[in-house]
Structure 1
Amino acid sequence: MAAASCSSEVRLATFLLLLLGCLSSGSGSAQVPLLLWSSDSLPPLASPAAGHITSNDQLTVYLTAALGSGPHTVLLFLQDKLSKDDFTIFGGVFGNKQDSAFHNLEAALQSSASSITVPALEWTGSSSFPALFQETLGVSPVLVDPETLSHLTINTSVNNLLLINLPYCTGSHKSCKEVLQDNDEVIGNVLSAVKAKDVPYTAIYTGLQPSRVISEASVSDQSVGRSLLATAEADVKAPIMFNVSGNPCIMLWAQNLSVSLSSSGEWIDLAAQTPSVDRSMCNTTHSLLVLRYTGGFELRFAMSQRFYPVSGRNWFTLDSVQLQANASTASFTGGRGIYAPAEYSFHCQSVSNSKDALLVPNSTDKDTSEWRLNFIDFQIQGFRLANGTNFSYASDCAGFFTAGIWMGLLTSLLMLLIFVYGLHMIMQLTTMDRFDDPKGPSISVPQSD
């Protein structure tokens, strides 16, 4: 018994180390972990190196070897979302093991005849895993829960794919740890029901999609330079994209797209909503991005590109920005300062229609004369998108000689002039050519009466 206990502890420790080892991965691709254990023996799988992402093809080859021959009963625990961080945060790896949210899962791994851990599995879509197991076993999944499973008759002479859906904490009134603890209890109840029927099984625990994704742009496929300045975390919103025949054509991102219909009115941040872009269009010379929001708001970004012989290259300009609301339209010209080479994107920390701003009102309508726009951390590209999903090198609106740089240059010039003047004065100093000799006759100065 002591040897068996030691072996199970080593297997659990190996599982946790594999999960922790992959945390050093620098890949930004979406991935989910996969745990597989069985009451029977499984073919061996080489431990992946830290940072390695197992492809779907590699998993298919292994599942074919493990489940391809003979009837199998497969329990597929499919959680809405799952990532490696869920094990490290809620699994008690860095804290008290008694505080783990995966007691039943860890017990199942310890007591199983064999288990396989895939810390980083390539994720390609929400429907990829059910389809993969369905194709491997040749049967359709049967949706079950612990209550229905206890009354279900399992025919062990054929393949069975039992699907158990598990929720995640997104949108739930419970904390993530409480939701994972409830899921762990469901896993324990299902395994107990299967063991009570004395049915040999193979269990898989994975996620429909990752719960946390860290995006890192690769510099190998594009020029190094300024691009979308966004925090790499799960909550970063995706850019607005318009596709033509499945190919990205226009891309826009902004931290805030604030509009106000009066000079003293409340600002409305349209970036908090998901717009409709179905009225947009683009071709090789003109692009029009139309963003339609709830509440009757509509933003139109009209762009064009043309060849300039002086620079010998194509440039694109944001010709106009239109805001429609309450059956009125305000138009603003942006060509004066919103431009970039055609193969670049345009980025600016603030784009507005205030005094000395980039957007110039060209409407004389009194109803829209007080309308205001303010786009924060604004980036747009209407032509030649880089590899389909990323902005190209960003041409920033900030000039090289900013006010701070000019102040520093003028102050340095003034100090240099003072130094040169002082040095010139020192170099002009001369010594006397005659001195009073105390050993010789004294110099007499006649005094007049």
Structure 2
Amino acid sequence: MAPKSSAASFSILLLIIAPLLLFQQPWSTADPLPADGAADCPGNDKATLTDGVPAGRKLLQTVEAELPFPPLQVSSNGRPCVMFQARKLALRYERRKQVDLTERAFSPRKSVDTSQSLCRRDTATLVMQFGDVDDLRGLSIRMHLSNTFYESSGQWWFSVDSVSLLYNSSQEAVFNASDVYAPSSSSYTCSRVSSLERHSALLRPGSDRARRWTLTFTDFQIQAFNVTSGGFSPASDCAAFLTPAILMGLVTSLILLLVLAYAMHLLVHLNRIENEGERKAHARFLHSHEQLEGCCAENADDKDAP
């Protein structure tokens, strides 16, 4: 009876502990929050559109961030084409001092030159010319955007395809954008759009020169091809539903369920073995009892014989 008692105790213990672990808040594997911002955006390689809707994307969420400067707006033929805003725009070359371009880009007192920006039906280029910044000559940042219609969803989606740094007249560092897209009726927002791995690296270096640079936009928001003068449309957030913490919780839950299922299988198996042993023991007892009765009957017959 010892195996049965041990297995039953183990199963009862699992039944008590499993619900507590299954419904506990999953732990986070993300890096600690930076001192000046919100949580980083989970990023992967560029996601594909499933039936015209990106997997794991929170759609149409209202963003009410209070940023120090108004958004940068580019118009084409008198109509707004691209609207862009960030709490901070910073870049660094190798281990040199970080260059903060936030005020130069968005402050009304130091309006950045966007005269070379282009807007077409399917493509757009946002050009921000900063001029000479520290030891960089003729620094400018270019965002290349595209607008694509997906028949499965019946709507247009815009995306930021790449971001380029041009400096010292002829040198260029190109970053390919990953997962920076949203419906054209919405804007796109993310707490970090950066080339740093700890910020999910939504910007991937597209050349050896780009690997020497780090580029980070904090509280990034952009809208293109369907901009109204009233401001940004409701935003599609870069945060995914399946964050690392949620995935770890799901994996932990699955492991616990497998352990519980194995324990129940083991208990049933031990019960079956014990029942078979009891049946065999009972059969041996009956057989022995029958033999004993037969022996007693033979002895009685021998005594009664003349």
The aligned counterpart of 1:351 is: 193
Change (3 A) 1:228 1:243: farther
Aligned letter for 1:268? V
Give the aligned residue type for 1:349: S
**Which among 393, 400, 413 is matched to residue 234 of structure 2?**
393
TM-fit CA distance, 1:254: 1.1
- Residue 239 of structure 2 aligns with an amino acid whose one-letter code is A
- Determine the structure 2 residue equivalent to 1:363: 207
Does 2:144 match 1:302?
Answer: yes
More strand by share: 2
**Contact 2:60/2:186 (8 A) holds in 1:** no
Tell me what 1:407 maps to.
248
Please report the RMSD computed on the Cα atoms of aligned residues, expressed in angstroms.
Answer: 3.0
Cα distance change on mapping 1:339 and 1:225 into 2, 3 Å: closer
Equivalent AA in structure 2 for residue 402 of structure 1: T
Aligned to 1:341: 183
Give yes or no for the alignment of 1:332 onto 2:164: no
* Structure 1 residues 133-172: aligned runs within 5 Å: none
The structure with more helix, counted as a fraction of residues: 2
Give, as a single letter, the amino acid of the residue that structure 1 aligns with 2:65. Answer: A
CA distance in structure 1 between the partners assigned to 2:124 and 2:174 by the alignment: 17
Partner residue in 2 for 1:291 = 128
The residue number in structure 2 matching 1:228 is: 63
- Which residue, out of 374, 391, 395, partners 2:216? 374
For the pair 1:237 / 2:69, whether they are aligned, the reply is: yes
Question: Residues of 2 paired with 1:230 and 1:284: CA distance?
Answer: 29
Do 2:60 and 2:236's aligned partners in 1 also have CA atoms closer than 8 Å? no
C-alpha distance in 2 between matches for 1:369 and 1:401: 29
Gaps of 5+ in 2: 1-58, 293-306
1:303–1:317: 8 Å Cα contact kept in structure 2? yes
Higher relative contact order (CA 8 A, sep 6+): 2
Equivalent residue letter for 2:129: R
Amino acid at match of 1:225: L
Matches of 2:202 and 2:211 in 1, distance apart? 16
Secondary structure of 1:293's counterpart equals: strand
Residues 326-366 of structure 1 show CA distances to partners (whole Å, capped at 9, x for unaligned) of 322222222x422222222222222222457222222345x
Give the distance between the partners of 1:277 and 1:228, measured in 2 at CA.
25
| Cα distance in 1 for residues equivalent to 2:183 and 2:60 | 14
TM superposition shift of 1:411:
0.1
1:250 Cα deviation (Å)? 1.0
Other-structure match for 2:56? none
* 2:100 counterpart letter in structure 1: D
Off by >4 Å, runs of 4+ in structure 1: none
Shift of 1:310: 4.7
AA in 1 matched with 2:63: L
Where does structure 1 lack aligned partners over 5 or more consecutive residues? 1-223, 445-449
Identity of aligned residues (%): 34
Match of 1:184 in 2: none
Kindly state the Cα deviation for residue 245 of structure 1 after the two structures are TM-superposed. 5.2
C-alpha distance in 2 between matches for 1:404 and 1:346: 23
Q: 1:417 aligns with which of 236, 258, 261?
A: 258
Structure 1 residue 267 and structure 2 residue 98: aligned? yes
Residue 246 (structure 1) shift: 4.8
